[in-house]
Every structure is written in structure tokens, then in C-alpha cells.
Amino acid sequence: MGAFLSPKTSAPPPPPLPPTRDDAAVRQAALEERRRRSLAAGRASTIRTGGQGVTGSAPVKTKELLGE
């Protein structure tokens, strides 16, 4: 008859507290995020074309034989 009884278990431990703003790891992560965003914003100034690419004509030159 005792085969269908479940054993008594204790309550699980409480979850750890979430990090606070004063935590050094949180401050370091925020600093890294700000640095990453500033670097990403800096790349926008190097893009010289729009979504269509270069719309003007390309500077092409025809082949010339040597001596002509």
C-alpha cells in the first residue's frame, strides 16, 4: 500500500535578487553598451551612397593599342 505515496520534499530556495544599478557588473555592461552604440553611429558617416548605390555614370575609358 505504501508504493503509491510520494516522498515529502522541502521548498525550493528563493531565487537570487536581481542586480541593482549600483552593481559593478551592471555599470560595466552599460558602459560597454554606450561604447558599442557610439562606434556604430560613427560608421554612418563613412557611407557615401544611398540605397540605390551610385546613380551617376562610371568613368570608363576605351581600350587603346600601344603606339596609337
The pLDDT assigned to 32 comes to 93
Q: Are 50 and 56 in contact (CB under 8 A)?
A: no
pLDDT tens digits, 13-46? 999 988 776 778 888 888 999 998 887 776 666 7
Give the Cβ contact number of residue 45 at 10 Å: 7
Determine the average pLDDT of the residues in 4-14.
84
Tell me the pLDDT tens digit for each residue of 34-43.
Answer: 998 887 776 6
Lookup result for grid cell 535578487: 17
DSSP for 1-68?
-GGGPPPP-PPPPPPPPPPPTT-HHHHHHHHHHHHHHHHHHHHGGG--SBTTB--SPP-------TT-
Q: What is the pTM of this model?
A: 0.34
